[in-house]
Amino acid sequence: METLDKIKQQLAENSIILYMKGSPKLPSCGFSSQASQAVINCGEQFAYVDILLNPDIRAELPKYANWPTFPQLWVDGELVGGCDIIMEMSQQGELQPLIAAAAKAKAE
């Protein structure tokens, strides 16, 4: 499977997905740690992809997303943003409703 097809499949199959360095339990960088903790705090299940174990995705996703850095949070197939945006949305109370709505829609 082509890398771009793999990315599109991951986005289609997971309403909430975080592309990050490491895992939510064992993040490999401070930005990924902050971002994953913010998503965990929303209280919903989410998928993640460790880009350190997937160099093909690490290389291709920034081109596809037109976003150069990681982590990247995607909700319902749309790029939400990176660590700064995730943290800002979390602090302003915008992240939790977005995550909850995506989780609810998936459950229906």
- Binding-site residue numbers for glutathione are 21, 58, 70, 83-84
* Residues annotated in a binding site for [2Fe-2S] cluster: 29
Strands (E), the chain: 16-20, 47-50, 72-75, 78-81
* Residues annotated in a binding site: 21, 29, 58, 70, 83-84
Distance CA 100, CA 2 (A): 31
Count of CB atoms situated within 10 Å of the CB of 39: 26
